[in-house]
């Protein structure tokens, strides 16, 4: 492991790279703020899926979107345009140091190689593999630690520290856009459907049944989702919810969640958005990835779902067990009871 930067050695422009989606970018927020406390400029390199979240992070001065060729299905001939775009962007920014943020199952070494080839003089990352001379800081951490703490430990090893006044929780830039015209008064229950991985989504049947029970009690429910989730959101809306699926940008969704009493959601980016605005979360969490690492961080949380199910640790995107029992074993009454733990408490 290379020695940490001394304060006098810290470079003016630091590149932080998170080539992932919005949830992972939001979890990098505390680490980004630690870097921003000393660097003159923080540039974030991220996939287009995470760029909206990157622009919401306090401490980020510039965002570069880049589709790494190894993160998508690509024909061999498509690699060169992506790599030329990368070289052009890095040549313009000319970072003095780079920190590569990856999940535990991802390798930082392909990106570290490109950074080294473009002349970045200092690179740090967490890597389970021997990096050779690709990394100046080869950091390692225990498995299963919260992802936000894992990334923060990397930048701390590089010599960057959060300010004493910083709680280390997730955060987004404020003010957020006002969505009161869409939602009405604060204090509703937000239910989010959809997600990039089917195994980690809130089951629609459960969302419908819980919404119907909450609506029967006179509790307002707002259902959110992406444009591609409109059919699922419409089913929830028929049970008694206001349908906002496909009607909000990410900053607007943050405001919708911010003004909710609680968010009911699977393991998907809005769960981390709720943590960033300190809204309590009822998390229907499939154990395909460990909750210790990926559950909403730093906010009040009620975790539902069998964490010892057969799919545990499989990282499966689609449930490998017929019937998706880890989440379908949860009842609507359990969801409603969990919601009542938070409604009225904010």
Domain-located, residue 137: yes
Residues 6+ away with beta carbon under 8 Å from 93: 13, 15, 43, 62, 64
Among the listed ranges 40-44, 140-144, 279-283, 327-331, which one has the minimum average pLDDT value?
Answer: 140-144
| Same domain flag for 240 and 137 | no
Q: Is the pLDDT of residue 278 over 90?
A: yes
Cβ-contact 239, 229 below 8 angstroms = no
pLDDT for the residue 1: 44
Give the pLDDT band (50/70/90) at residue 346.
low
| Same domain flag for 197 and 125 | no
Domain-located, residue 346: no
Q: How do residues 196-246 score in pLDDT, each as one tens digit?
A: 899 999 999 999 999 999 999 999 999 999 999 999 999 999 999 999 999
pLDDT for the residue 11: 63
Cβ-contact 59, 42 below 8 angstroms = yes
| Same domain flag for 153 and 185 | no
Domain-located, residue 165: no
Q: Work out the angle at residue 206's Cα, subtended by the Cα atoms of residues 319 and 307, and round it to the nearest 5 degrees.
A: 45
3-state secondary structure of 224: strand
pLDDT for the residue 80: 79
| Same domain flag for 329 and 206 | yes
| Same domain flag for 20 and 130 | yes
Q: Identify the domain containing residue 202 by its residue range.
A: 180-340
| Same domain flag for 118 and 202 | no
Nearest CA among 240, 122, 107, 253 for reference residue 176: 253
For residues 298 and 17, give the distance between their C-alpha atoms in angstroms, rounded to a whole number.
23
Give the pLDDT band (50/70/90) at residue 2.
very low
| Same domain flag for 120 and 196 | no
Put the strands of the sheet holding 13-18 in their side by side order. 62-65, 41-46, 13-18, 97-100, 123-126, 137-139
Domain-located, residue 102: yes
Strand 241-243 relative to strand 62-65: parallel, antiparallel, unpaired? unpaired
Domain-located, residue 1: no
Number of domains in the chain: 2
| Same domain flag for 139 and 213 | no
| Same domain flag for 48 and 187 | no
- The model's pTM is 0.94
Q: Is the pLDDT of residue 68 over 50?
A: yes
Give the pLDDT band (50/70/90) at residue 8.
very low
| Same domain flag for 192 and 106 | no
Residue ending a domain, among 106, 125, 157, is: 157
| Same domain flag for 208 and 290 | yes
| Same domain flag for 333 and 192 | yes
Domain-located, residue 215: yes
Q: How do residues 93-132 score in pLDDT, each as one tens digit?
A: 999 999 999 988 899 999 999 999 999 999 999 998 999 9
Q: What is the mean pLDDT of residues 278-290?
A: 96
């Amino acid at each position: 492991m290379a020695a940490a930067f001394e304060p006098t050695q810290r470079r003016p422009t630091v590149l932080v790279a998170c080539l992932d989606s919005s949830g992972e970018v939001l979890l990098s927020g505390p680490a980004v703020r630690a870097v921003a406390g000393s660097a003159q400029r923080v540039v974030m390199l991220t996939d287009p899926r995470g760029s909206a979240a990157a622009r919401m992070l306090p401490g980020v001065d510039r965002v570069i979107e880049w589709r790494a060729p190894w993160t998508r299905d690509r024909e061999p001939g498509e690699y060169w345009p992506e790599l030329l775009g990368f070289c052009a962007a890095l040549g313009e920014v000319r970072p003095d140091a780079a920190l590569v943020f990856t999940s535990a199952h991802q390798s930082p070494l392909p990106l570290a190689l490109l950074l080294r080839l473009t002349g970045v003089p200092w690179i740090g990352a967490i890597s389970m593999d021997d990096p050779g001379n690709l990394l100046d800081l080869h950091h390692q951490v225990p498995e299963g630690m919260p992802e936000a703490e894992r990334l923060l430990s990397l930048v701390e090893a590089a010599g960057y520290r959060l300010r004493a006044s910083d709680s280390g929780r997730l955060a987004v830039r404020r003010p957020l856009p006002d969505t009161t015209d869409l939602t009405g008064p604060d204090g509703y229950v937000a239910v989010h459907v959809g997600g990039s991985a089917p195994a980690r989504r809130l089951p629609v049947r459960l969302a419908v049944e819980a919404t119907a029970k909450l609506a029967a009690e006179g509790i307002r429910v707002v259902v959110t989702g992406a444009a591609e989730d409109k059919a699922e959101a419409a089913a929830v809306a028929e049970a008694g919810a206001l349908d906002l699926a496909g009607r909000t940008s990410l900053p607007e969704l943050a405001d919708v969640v911010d003004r909710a009493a609680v968010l009911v959601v699977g393991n998907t980016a809005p769960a981390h958005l709720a943590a960033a605005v300190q809204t309590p979360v009822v998390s229907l969490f499939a154990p395909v990835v460990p909750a210790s690492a990926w559950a909403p961080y730093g906010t009040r949380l009620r975790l539902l779902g069998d964490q010892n199910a057969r799919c545990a640790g499989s990282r499966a995107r689609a449930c490998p067990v017929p019937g998706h029992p880890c989440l379908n074993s949860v009842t609507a009454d359990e969801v409603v009871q969990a919601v009542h733990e938070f409604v009225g408490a904010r």
